[in-house]
């Protein structure tokens, strides 16, 4: 059985925008967070493509990754993920081929099958392209060909990109990508930080369908985990109310800008909304170090995950830094 100290740990930053802040401040905070978690011993730092969301500043994912990689030196940086239906595979191959050429051995390309936005925004992104989630398997294969070695009869190349073999991950919040990742022999990251309900089934399907490849000889599972770590359980419970308000706003279709923590959520949500937010954050690690260690040990025992990627969406930047610092101490034992 795997021990907690054997599990890699990483960061997924949603580059949150505060209600009294702006995108520039959020982007600077993202780099500062990357620099800190690099020192804390985290394996990778990922950002996700979202569009038309006023509380998330990571829409130009490849541009942001270049900023983050340029300001760090050892931590892997990557997409968690790029929403492939929004893009021609060649464009992504060129972008990430450029990143890999600039920062060799440090770039990850996580791919998602959803648009990462509403349908109106998806149309605005694509214009004349007929990008669809149904095309995802073919688009992944095309993208990987562009990143692989050039063949004699290859008429279209990604430059930069060809021959870089940027590591590709498949991401998912349902079961489709789990099976595809297994069949292609690729590492798989499940979005249990917002869709924990299908986690165990997705892991089972991925492992059952896994075929060894040039990339992996055995399955590799990463799980997304919401994190609110503080010095005490009481402080963590207080800080977590910012996260609850954000998820509640998402469910209501309201602004996603970060709101400060409150003493109580009573009066801010209805009983069914409280239950829905609880389901959304079913895997959340909220508490002081001892409480979080106990919950993480159960998670690893149940899933045998190879890596956990944590998102800590706290209002104060200093609280986020402390949250990741405490987690690193827990993970290292």
Model confidence pLDDT, tens digit, residues 59-71: 999 999 999 999 9
Considering the domain boundaries, does residue 316 fall inside one? yes
Range of the domain at 120: 4-229+284-332
Confidence category of residue 132, pLDDT binned at 50, 70, 90 = low
pLDDT at residue 131 tops 70: no
Considering the domain boundaries, does residue 253 fall inside one? no
pLDDT at residue 249 tops 70: yes
Considering the domain boundaries, does residue 9 fall inside one? yes
Confidence category of residue 115, pLDDT binned at 50, 70, 90 = low
Cβ proximity of 205 and 178 under 8 Å: yes
User: What average pLDDT does the chain have?
Assistant: 93
Give me the percent of the chain exceeding a pLDDT of 90.
85
Span of 43-47, 60-64, 94-98, 126-130 with lowest mean pLDDT? 126-130
Considering the domain boundaries, does residue 271 fall inside one? no
Cβ proximity of 45 and 75 under 8 Å: yes
Span of 29-38, 47-56, 113-122, 135-144 with lowest mean pLDDT? 113-122
- Average pLDDT of the segment spanning 316-333: 96
Confidence category of residue 133, pLDDT binned at 50, 70, 90 = low
SS (H, E, C) 229-270: ECCCHHHHHHHHHHHHHHHHHHHHCCCCCECCCCCCCECCEC
Give me the percent of the chain exceeding a pLDDT of 70.
96
Considering the domain boundaries, does residue 33 fall inside one? yes
Total structural domains within the chain: 1
Considering the domain boundaries, does residue 261 fall inside one? no
| CATH code of the domain covering residue 321 | 3.20.20.30
- Average pLDDT of the segment spanning 277-299: 96
Rounded CA separation 243/55 (Å): 12
pTM of the model: 0.94
Rounded CA separation 183/180 (Å): 5
Calculate the CA 96 to chain-centre distance: 17
64-69 own/partner pairs: CB under 8 Å, 24+ apart: 64/15, 64/27, 64/30, 65/99, 65/107, 66/98, 66/99, 66/102, 67/27, 67/31, 68/30, 68/31, 68/34, 69/99, 69/102, 69/103, 69/106, 69/107
pLDDT 10s digits, 208-233: 999 999 999 999 999 999 999 999 99
Considering the domain boundaries, does residue 245 fall inside one? no
Considering the domain boundaries, does residue 240 fall inside one? no
pLDDT at residue 83 tops 70: yes
CB atoms within 10 A of CB 4: 17
Confidence category of residue 134, pLDDT binned at 50, 70, 90 = confident
Work out the angle at residue 323's Cα, subtended by the Cα atoms of residues 318 and 326, and round it to the nearest 5 degrees: 120
- Average pLDDT of the segment spanning 267-284: 94
CA nearest neighbour of 240 among 314, 323, 324: 314
What DSSP element (H or E) covers 10?
Answer: strand 8-13
Confidence category of residue 79, pLDDT binned at 50, 70, 90 = very high
């Amino acid at each position: 059985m795997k021990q907690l100290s054997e599990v890699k740990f990483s960061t997924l930053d949603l580059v949150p925008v505060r209600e009294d802040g702006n995108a520039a401040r959020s982007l600077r905070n993202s780099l500062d967070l990357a620099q800190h978690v690099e020192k804390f011993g985290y394996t990778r730092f990922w950002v996700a493509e979202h569009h038309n969301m006023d509380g998330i500043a990571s829409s130009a994912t490849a541009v942001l990754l270049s900023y983050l990689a340029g300001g760090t030196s050892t931590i892997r940086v990557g997409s968690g993920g790029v929403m492939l239906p929004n893009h021609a595979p060649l464009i992504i191959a060129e972008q990430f081929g450029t990143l890999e050429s600039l920062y060799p051995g440090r770039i990850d390309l996580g791919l998602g099958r959803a648009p990462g936005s509403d349908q109106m925004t998806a149309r605005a992104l694509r214009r004349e392209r007929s990008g669809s989630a149904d095309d995802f398997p073919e688009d992944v294969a095309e993208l990987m060909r562009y990143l692989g070695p050039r063949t004699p009869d290859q008429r279209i190349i990604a430059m930069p990109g060809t021959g870089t073999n940027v590591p590709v991950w498949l991401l998912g919040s349902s079961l489709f990508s789990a099976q595809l990742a297994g069949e292609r022999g690729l590492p798989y990251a499940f979005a249990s930080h917002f869709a924990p309900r299908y986690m165990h089934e997705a892991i089972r399907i991925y492992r059952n369908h896994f075929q060894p490849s040039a990339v992996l000889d055995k399955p590799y599972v990463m799980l997304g985990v919401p994190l609110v770590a503080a010095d005490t359980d009481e402080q963590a419970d207080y800080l977590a109310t910012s996260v609850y308000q954000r998820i509640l706003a998402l469910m209501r279709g309201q602004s996603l800008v970060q709101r400060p923590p409150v003493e109580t959520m009573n009066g801010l949500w209805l009983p069914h909304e409280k239950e829905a937010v609880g389901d959304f954050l079913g895997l959340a690690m909220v508490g002081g170090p001892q409480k979080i260690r106990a919950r993480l040990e159960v998670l690893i025992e149940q899933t045998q995950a190879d890596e956990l990627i944590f998102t800590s969406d706290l209002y104060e930047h200093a609280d986020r830094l402390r949250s990741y610092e405490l987690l690193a101490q827990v993970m290292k034992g």
